[in-house]
Copies of this chain bind each other. A is one copy, B any other.
Amino acid sequence: MKNAAVLGASGYTGEEAVRLILGHPKLNLKAMTAHSRAGESYSDVFRNFAGQDLPPLTTLDEVDWTEIDVVFACLPHGASQETIAKIYDQVETVIDLSADFRLSDPGLYELTYGRPHEFRSLLGERVYGLTEFARDNLRGAKLVACPGCYPTCSMLALLPGLAGGMIEPKSIIIDAKSGVTGAGRKASLAFAYSEITDGAQAYAIGMHRHAPEMDQAIRDFAGQAANVRFTPHLLPMNRGMIATCHVNLTEGTDVAALRKHYKSTYDDEPFVHILEKGQVPQTRHVRGSNHCQIGIFADRTPNSAVIVSVIDNLTKGSSGQAIQNYNLTQGWDETLGLGYVGVFP
């Protein structure tokens, strides 16, 4: 058993981490922090935890770090790196769910997030935890940067084809859609019920912070130079993310070969499932679970394909992948604590 702390437990990714840790056979939830809600019981912040025996919410300063083995940091970028730097030497493992350690190039980080990276030595140590492509690096890692939800969803759809030389890296268009929990838990008119329900929209069109992260993943895991065109949308649903990837196939390949290649690549994966020809992935089927479903389709135009990938943005797209990564750092079965099927309907 390892003792876990969740930092930023009053947000949705923090809460999802708490939910998953409570069901994990080798994790003991020892501390939860939430700056603005410190002192409250967790069930006052998230009433779904009524009746659970949980530690109180505290500030960071109140945590006895000597008791903590692993930290799941669910903090905003900027705050995350500062906090991690402070406690880094006192804990065994840090799983960071923020954006702070995703980009290996601090210059690109500054360009993308509008502030310099203050902890470059940590950056050098971190492992980028796109689980299915990073297992070798994850074993024994001390600092894991969990990918963004859009990169996770999109890269699972694209990397096998790119690594296999079957997809043109220069003309990738990712049209993605997310549920509203991706925006976090906050009082905001833009995310008020009546402003969101029964409608849809794109946002951050042309430049979303996850786009450079995808280019990096394509470079690091597929050895290709890419410059993805990425447009996210906000949909009237809680959880769920769909990446519709419009790609051109390289000379000599076709969709049947592509699907076969994906099936073989992901054959032993516990959480990534390539659907049969004609089966369409739906976000609702992965709700609340760590699973990803991928469908591969020919377009009516020659040499082009559509690859559709769905995940739960809070689980595989965030806290579920975080747990999966931690399992791997410990050399445990990576499915520990993640054996949920989607809650449908």
Residues of A at the B interface (CB closer than 8 Å) are 12, 15, 19, 22-23, 46-52, 171, 173, 175, 177, 179-181, 185-189, 191-203, 205-207, 211, 227-229, 231, 233, 235-240, 242, 244, 246, 270-271, 273, 275, 279-289, 291, 293, 295, 297-301, 304, 306, 308, 310, 339-345
Using Cβ atoms and an 8 Å threshold, which residues of chain B touch A187?
Answer: 187-189, 192
User: Chain B nearest CB: distance from A119 CB in Å?
Assistant: 27
CB distance B238 to A236 under 8 Å? no
List the 8 shortest-distance A-B pairs measured between CB atoms, nearest first: A199-B284, A48-B342, A175-B175, A194-B345, A201-B282, A193-B196, A48-B285, A205-B297
- CA A173 – CA B248 in complex, angstroms? 12
From B189, B194, B275, B306, A238 is in contact (CB under 8 Å) with B194
Question: When the two chains form their complex, are residues A173 and B246 in contact, meaning their CB atoms are under 8 A apart?
Answer: yes
Q: Which residues of B contact A271 (CB under 8 A)?
A: 51
Cross-chain contact B239 with A345 (CB below 8 angstroms):
yes
Bound together, the chains give a CA A206 to CA B193 distance in angstroms of 25
8 Å CB contact of A193 from B46, B236, B283, B300 = B236
Q: Contacts A180-B193, A236-B237 hold; do A291 and B231 have CB atoms under 8 A apart? A: no
Once A181-B194, A185-B192 are accepted as A-B contacts, the answer to whether A246 and B229 lie under 8 Å apart by CB is yes
Which residues of B are found within 8 Å of A235, using beta-carbon distances? Answer: 177, 200, 235-236
**Contact residue among B180, B189, B200, B295 (Cβ-Cβ distance under 8 Å from A240):** B200
Check A344/B197 contact, CB under 8 A, given A233-B177, A236-B236.
no
